[in-house]
Structure 1
Amino acid sequence: MNDPLLDAHRSEIIEMALSDHVSFADIQREYGLAEKQVKALMRESLKPGSYRAWRKRVRDFGDRRAVYK
Structure 2
Amino acid sequence: MSISTSSRKKWNEFSVDEKDRIVRMAWEDRTAFESIKEQFGLTPNETIKFMRTQLDEKAYRRWRERASNKGHLKHEAQRPFVEGRFKCSRQRIDGSTKGWK
Q: Shorter-chain TM-score: which interval? A: 0.7 to 0.9
Partner residue in 2 for 1:15:
24
Distance in 2 (alpha carbons) for counterparts of 1:12 and 1:5: 14
Residue-pair matches, total? 65
Give the RMSD, CA atoms, in angstroms: 1.4
1:27 to 36, 45, 59: 36
Question: So what's the TM-score if we normalise by structure 1?
Answer: 0.82
Question: So what's the TM-score if we normalise by structure 2?
Answer: 0.58
Unaligned ranges ≥5, structure 2: 1-7, 76-101
Distance in 1 (alpha carbons) for counterparts of 2:29 and 2:59: 15
How far off its partner does 1:10 sit? 0.8
Partner residue in 1 for 2:99:
none
Report Cα offsets for 1:9-39 as digits up to 9, x if no partner.
1111111111112010110011111011111
Q: How does 1:52-67 map to 2 (within 5 A)?
A: 52-62=61-71, 65=72, 67=73
Partner residue in 2 for 1:5:
13
Q: Percent identity?
A: 26
Supply the AA of the counterpart residue of 1:5: E
